[in-house]
Structure 1
Amino acid sequence: MAEVSSKLRTALGRKRGELNINVVTLAQLTGVSRWTLDKILSGERTSVRVGTITKLNDWLYKQV
């Protein structure tokens, strides 16, 4: 398991706001469950699989 940093959570929230997309759309774009994303964005969940962090980082990288 890996830890979701506050920087990653903030970056995801900002990019989601910039693109004006909801959690369901973000889930489709990243390949991460909407339930997991919702918990990550709310700060309720910080421990996730390494693959989840990889998917989120890859998606953010493609947005730059």
Structure 2
Amino acid sequence: MIPVAAGQQTPVYYRPGATGRMLGAIGPTPPRWPGLVWMRITSVITTALIAWALFAVLITILD
């Protein structure tokens, strides 16, 4: 909640969540992206698993 006196204005900043299932953030200053760390971690893990699988396939083919 952002307190504002009657007749006054204040800027309000909003950022949506990183995915549709994550909640957004609102405040008087620009908030950080909710869920961005989670998205980065899952992207790194997914990329590592795909690279590992491709490496395993390549080793199997060359063996």
Greater RCO, 1 or 2 (C-alpha within 8 Å, sep 6+) = 1
**TM-score above 0.5, yes or no:** no
Greater share of helix: 1
TM-score normalised to structure 2 length: 0.27
TM-score by length of 1: 0.26
